[in-house]
Amino acid sequence: MKINLIDYKELLDFEKEIGYELIVNELPRNKDIDSPKFSARFNDLITKEGKFSKRETGYGNTVDEALDDYALKISGKTLMTHWGIDSSVELAIPYLKHTIKEQR
């Protein structure tokens, strides 16, 4: 039997490789709804899906959960620096995981 496993890359290693900064923000709390505490995304990049683009964001109750959610959302997609501009740079995204937990 042959088992083909996906080769995942660590999100924080990918950040260093491409030279764009991941931004994690603490979100304001809303007492009326159960909302996530943190959001994460690459600051100046958007995802491209066919003819459409969107700014993906990961959410979680911890920094690590937000980073893991973001890794899942952008895995296997294309990131772009600008939409519809000739100088846009496209980056093919490998399958990502966030496994290096931040020490705080």
Q: What is the DSSP letter of 45?
A: -
Residue type, 7: D
CB 93 within 8 A of CB 77: yes
What is the reported pLDDT for 59?
Answer: 96
Give the model's pLDDT for residue 5: 74
Q: What is the pLDDT of residue 21?
A: 93
Distance CA 20, CA 74 (A): 14
pLDDT for the residue numbered 86: 66
Q: What is the pLDDT of residue 102?
A: 63
The pLDDT tens digits along the chain (104 residues) read: 877 777 889 999 999 999 999 999 999 987 777 889 999 999 889 998 777 888 999 999 999 999 999 999 999 999 988 766 666 788 889 999 998 776 54
Give the list of residues 6+ apart from residue 79 with CB closer than 8 angstroms, or none: 42, 45, 46, 47, 48, 90, 91, 93
Instruction: Please report the pLDDT score of residue 89 as a whole number.
Output: 82
Collapsing DSSP states into helix, strand and coil, what is residue 49? strand
